[in-house]
Amino acid sequence: MYKLEKIEGGVCAANGFYADGISAGLKANNAKDMAFIYADTMCEIASTFTTNKMAAAPIKHFKSKGDFKTNFVLINSKNANAMTGDAGVDDIEEVLSHLPSKAVNPVMSSTGVIGVRLPKEKLINGLAQFDLTQQNPTSAAQAIMTTDSFKKEIAFQVTLRDGSSFNIGAMAKGAGMINPAMATMLCFITTDADVANATMQKILDRVVITTFNAASVDGDTSTNDTVMLLSNSKSGAYDEEAFEDALHQIMEFMAKQMVKDGEGATKLVTYKVTGAKDDREAEVVAKALSNSLLVKTALYGEDPNWGRIASTVGASGAEAKEETLTISFDDVCVYEKGKLYFDAEMEKVAAAVMKKDEFTISCDLGLGSGEFTAFGCDLGYEYVKINADYRT
Amino acid sequence: MYKLEKIEGGVCAANGFYADGISAGLKANNAKDMAFIYADTMCEIASTFTTNKMAAAPIKHFKSKGDFKTNFVLINSKNANAMTGDAGVDDIEEVLSHLPSKAVNPVMSSTGVIGVRLPKEKLINGLAQFDLTQQNPTSAAQAIMTTDSFKKEIAFQVTLRDGSSFNIGAMAKGAGMINPAMATMLCFITTDADVANATMQKILDRVVITTFNAASVDGDTSTNDTVMLLSNSKSGAYDEEAFEDALHQIMEFMAKQMVKDGEGATKLVTYKVTGAKDDREAEVVAKALSNSLLVKTALYGEDPNWGRIASTVGASGAEAKEETLTISFDDVCVYEKGKLYFDAEMEKVAAAVMKKDEFTISCDLGLGSGEFTAFGCDLGYEYVKINADYRT
């Protein structure tokens, strides 16, 4: 028994965390492009990073540190510091060396264009604007955005049965190059729960599978994907089930927010695959659906073209049969185990579902008990517009 | 020593083959939508079909026949006869039963919308328009088109060292749902080469890997992909090397034509991957590149955004390293083994390559001797337009 209550405060909702965003001049028009998260005591840190073999310099820098505690995360947008080799890591060390001495074992996280050296002078000059006593989580959430059209933050107060409570809050960015196998998404979560570091990493690894790793905007896994979870234990309160539930709700919220904010996206679609031979095959099908260009353009056209769903299931590589497959749009079943009953009337009902901003496409493969749920979006003209000339 | 000479005649270029296309009323405005290929003697047949588990009824019908010779192929566009169950196969048998008795062991091939029963009355009525003495390969090639913007046919006369010669010709369709693992592409090839059936199937299986299976428009593998190769041995001439060379040139031409005619495509890009751990890994990388939405939209934007190439290589799952990777656009090397020398001048030169209708992106992974070449296209507004409301 515990209670989850949504509260304000983002990454500053947990006791002892400070954050702000400023303009260091990387983005045009003095838009915010550099943020910090600072904790007034040292924090345990759990993390998960991209599986892209061209992992960016900030990820190499983080991993080179081995086991460590920290109280400071520096984040910039507009430049990914990826494909920059050893020089990229050196740039990070130089920038971090200019932080005030209160920042212990600081780490960095970057997002933006790949293959350009970090404009370190601008960043170093920008550091002077930081005030570590500020609690402006929304400014921080804005500063880490790239093609995002809205900022992404959330926080919960978790009250346990004995009346004790802890807070957990997060900010994230991500709108394109999103196919987290652990995605260009960044997510920073802070908590004052009294959680042991080893447990925290295990829970994070578990939760990421069904949240960020289940989300796709375009099937492209970025060089910079990062989730960091910082805890300072200040509340003295902890319950594993409550903590995992809160973390799951936060990460699922952020994953859905990213897909909803998918470049040019107008719809958030949940792909619920059941009846697969096993969970792994269900995942293969769910991700094939969320990444299929033909499915995504049909969604954009609000066309209940279930034939493309069936074809994608068949092409996914997973075991599947025409005779056992069932496809539904929300509660409208359009194809059931070999029965073709998609007529003009049903097309009207199915088309009405497709007009919604959010709906579920269910595929039951009718073969076993494997299941997986993925989150995807449509693909329209705006996606092309945003990505045809991203760098300029 | 042999000579390949391009000739007119498409699927009627080989001695003894007849073909035509007519309107059976499936497409609007009396557009051609049904074609036949007829041979005046029985033919050996080699074939390769989609690996999609929802394979269409014509493919099930073909496979159910076991070993057979034939002299007749009936082809319709606008309806894929896929996801139609046993009834779909029954529909084929009924339609074929109305062919004249000269058609022995006839087979059928379909392309178009998935999940709608074949309008068999229209097809049966249309059969009356067929004249099996006609040699109108171009009409046949037009009748099998769906979203194709141009017809696809080619033929060669192959002259051997001893002066004997044979012909080989083909027609194909395909513009979307193209990711042949064996694709919605159809290709029909006819020859009068004196080739043994077992050899012909082996050669077809070999050639399909580096031609159709190396091509992708959208990464979606269709329910209907079919390549059929019919031979009647009438020329009495044959040479394996010459035959395979001609077949390879025909299938590579058709694969490239499909990609060039990719829905909304403006560019044909060859992805040449070398230096991979092995050929399989090179194939994984080449296909990841040709299917990446971020790469495809950058191509459309004519933006030499090599960072997306690097990121896609890294995300492909193949072994890859920032320090050993080299990326070129035609002969302009933009990134070489950790060296970041992409400046404004090079950007101008690289951008000039991107403005071409056809060019090559080369990635040398610097790890081994594995190589693979894939064919892809850009993705622009037209792709979205064509696919957002394909069925109407």
The pLDDT profile of chain B, 392 residues, written as one tens digit per residue, is 788 899 999 999 999 999 999 999 999 989 999 999 999 999 998 888 877 777 889 999 999 998 899 999 999 999 989 888 899 999 999 999 999 999 999 999 998 888 889 999 999 999 999 999 999 999 999 999 887 778 888 999 999 999 999 999 988 887 655 444 333 578 888 999 999 888 988 998 888 888 887 776 666 666 777 888 999 999 999 999 999 999 998 888 888 888 887 777 888 899 999 999 999 999 999 988 988 888 888 888 888 888 888 888 888 889 998 889 999 999 999 999 988 777 888 888 999 999 999 999 999 999 999 999 988 888 888 777 777 765 54
Which of A221, A236, A260 finishes a domain? Answer: A260
* Confidence label for A175 from pLDDT (cuts 50, 70 and 90): low
* Contact check, Cβ <8 Å, A292/B389: no
Say if residue A181's pLDDT is above 60: no
Q: How many domains does chain B have?
A: 2
Mean pLDDT of A114-128: 93
Give the ipTM.
0.72
Interface test with A, best of B355, B384, B385, B386 (most A CBs within 10 A): B384
The CATH number of the domain holding residue A151 is 3.60.70.12
Angstrom distance (rounded) from CA B95 to CA B33: 15
One domain for residues A296 and A228: no
Find, among B103, B99, B95, the residue nearest to B58 by Cα: B95
In the listed set A204, A233, A260, which residue is the last one of a domain according to the structure? A260
Kindly list the catalytic residues of A: 184
Q: Are residues A256 and A362 located together in one domain of the fold? A: no
More confident residue, A185 or A66: A66
Chain B residues near residue A179 by CB distance under 8 angstroms: 315
Q: Which residue has the higher pLDDT, A181 or B81?
A: B81
| Confidence band, pLDDT 50/70/90 cuts, at residue A74 | very high
Q: Could you tell me if B297 and B213 lie in one domain?
A: no
Instruction: Please judge whether A384 and B80 are an interchain contact, meaning their C-beta atoms are less than 8 angstroms apart.
Output: no
Q: Which of B260, B282, B303 is the last residue of a domain?
A: B260
Looking at residue A360, its pLDDT comes to 96
pLDDT at A183: 37
pLDDT at A328 over 50: yes
* pLDDT for res A198: 86
Q: What is the CA radius of gyration of chain B?
A: 22
CA distance A30 to chain B (A): 24
Are B323 and A380 in contact (CB < 8 Å)?
Answer: no
Q: What's residue B222's pLDDT? A: 65
More confident site: B340 or A249: A249
Token duo for residue A327 = 């496809």
Contact list, A55 vs chain B (CB under 8 Å): 314
pLDDT band at A219 (very low <50, low <70, confident <90, very high): low
Q: Which of A50, A84, A294 to mutate to test the interface with B (most CBs of B within 10 A)?
A: A294
More confident residue, B72 or A174: B72
The whole-number average pLDDT for the span A170-177 is 74
Whether residues B173 and B281 fall in one domain? no
Of B50, B138, B147, B184, the catalytic one is B184
pLDDT the model gives residue A307: 84
Residue in B83, B303, B314 nearest the CB of A54: B314
Closest CA of chain A from B389, distance in Å = 5
Kindly state the average pLDDT of the residues A256-282: 88
Q: What are phi and psi of B45, to 5 degrees?
A: -135, 130
Could you tell me if B216 and B352 lie in one domain?
no
**What's residue B124's pLDDT?**
97
pLDDT at A182: 34
**Whether residue B344 sits in one domain with residue B255:** no
CATH number of the domain enclosing A369: 3.10.20.340
Q: Are residues A210 and A92 in the same domain?
A: yes
Could you give the CA distance from residue A45 to residue A55 in angstroms, rounded to a whole number? 19
Do B236 and B323 fall into the same domain? Answer: no
Domain identity same for B373 and B274? yes
Rounded to the nearest 5°, which phi and psi values hold at A126?
A: -65, -30
Q: Mark whether B169 and B245 lie in a shared domain.
A: yes
In the sheet that A268-276 helps form, which strands lie side by side, from edge to edge? A332-336, A326-329, A358-364, A268-276, A370-377
**Strand B70-76 relative to strand B107-110, pairing:** parallel
Residue A2 vs residue A185, higher pLDDT: A2
For residues A43 and A153, membership in a common domain is answered with yes
The Cα–Cα gap between B281 and B303 comes to: 27
Q: Under an 8 A CB cutoff, do B53 and A298 touch?
A: no
More confident: A274 or A250: A274
Same domain, A289 and A150: no
pLDDT at A311 over 80: yes
Other CB atoms within 10 A of residue B42 CB:
16
- On chain B, the residues whose CB falls within 8 A of the CB of A392 are 303
Please give the full DSSP string across A269-314, using - where no structure is assigned: EEEEEEEESSHHHHHHHHHHHHH-HHHHHHHHTT---HHHHHHHHH
Domain holding B256, by residue range, is 2-260
Helices and strands (H and E) in chain A: how many: 11, 14
B320–A387 CB contact, under 8 Å = no
Average pLDDT over residues A269-294: 92
